[in-house]
Amino acid sequence: MTALDAFTAAAVLLAGGLIGATGIGGVLVVPALTGLAGLQVTQAIAASALAFALPGIAALWWLARSGAGLARWSALLLGALPAAAAGAWAVHSVQAGWLLSAVGVVALFSGARGLWQLAGRRPAQVPGRELRPWELASLGAGIGLASALTGTGGPVLLVPLWMVLGQPLALTVAAAQVIQLPVALAAGAAHASAGALDVALALYLGVLLLAGSIAGQAAARKLPVPALQALVSVLLLAVGLWFSWRAAAPHFA
């Protein structure tokens, strides 16, 4: 297993904390592993992909205990798993630049919308109806496929879409963590079959992400909803700018 220094481990813990508090934060892991630890991009992507399964399992366990209705989350997972597997196998033969652009646009729109609501002293969210199981399965399939094709985590796509659909913020964060599980398992299996997965490193990263996620969840429960919405919205704007730049960068290379 590749050894990680204290700074890299702290960065991964921070990413886990953001995952637990907002559902977003996984996008920090690969840059931390490549920029701080000097790992190859392919090695970092493969290890981090599987590592996200641990906070995903923890989130699913928490939802099962909270009485939030495990059946509806099962529909989300069952929709995402086969689609993520298909995307993981097709990723090398599909041009995903337009998908990165779409991720950036949706994230920017959702982040701006959230801050606009706060600035206008509007309700934190316009309540939406509860999604049916088939709708959750369809949403999971779309997110699983797009996540695998673009190399992004499920939360980056799910959080802005969930907010646009008017789902409660607490459920938005929980769903974002749960969606990591099928995406991580599918992507991890694809990387393992290609011989690119360092399982020991992935497990170590998973433990760090899990510890950070638990701390982040505890911190988020103490934050007022407007403060949490502001944090999520700012992170969405940052993510939207990042993925818009990633999509545009090849055209200026």
Encode burial over 75-87: b for 16+ CB neighbours within 10 A, e otherwise: bbbbbbbebbbbb
Task: Give the position of tokens 């999509």.
Answer: 247
Q: How confident is the model at residue 211, as a pLDDT?
A: 95
The tokens describing 243, both together, are 């993925």
Who's near 51: CB < 8 A, 6+ residues apart? Answer: 29, 184, 202, 203, 204, 205, 206, 208, 209
DSSP 28: G
Q: How confident is the model at residue 12, as a pLDDT?
A: 92
Q: Per-residue pLDDT for 124 more than 70?
A: no
Rounded Cα distance between 59 and 16, Å, is 12
CA angle 43, 21, 169 (to 5 degrees): 120
Who's near 228: CB < 8 A, 6+ residues apart? Answer: 21, 22, 169, 220
Amino acid sitting at position 119 = A
pLDDT in tens, 36-66: 888 887 788 788 888 989 988 888 777 777 6
Rounded Cα distance between 30 and 8, Å, is 10
Question: pTM (2 decimals)?
Answer: 0.78
**Could you tell me if 110 and 230 are in contact, meaning their C-beta atoms sit under 8 angstroms apart?**
no
Neighbour count for residue 46 (Cβ, 10 Å): 25
Phi, psi dihedrals of residue 179, rounded to the nearest 5°: -65, -20
pLDDT in tens, 130-187: 788 888 899 999 988 887 776 666 787 788 888 778 777 777 777 888 888 888 888 8
Pick the more confident residue, 9 or 252: 9
- Which H or E run includes 156? helix 154-164
pLDDT in tens, 88-119: 777 656 665 666 677 678 778 878 877 887 77
CA angle 224, 227, 233 (to 5 degrees): 140
Q: How confident is the model at residue 252, as a pLDDT?
A: 44
Query: For the ranges 26-30, 128-132, 190-194, 232-236, which has the lowest average pLDDT?
Result: 128-132
Q: What is the mean pLDDT of residues 218-225?
A: 82
Q: What is the mean pLDDT of the chain?
A: 80
Q: Per-residue pLDDT for 123 more than 60?
A: no
Neighbour count for residue 1 (Cβ, 10 Å): 12
Rounded Cα distance between 55 and 251, Å, is 36
Rounded Cα distance between 2 and 16, Å, is 20
pLDDT band at 203 (very low <50, low <70, confident <90, very high): very high
The tokens describing 49, both together, are 């992909």
The tokens describing 132, both together, are 């049916």
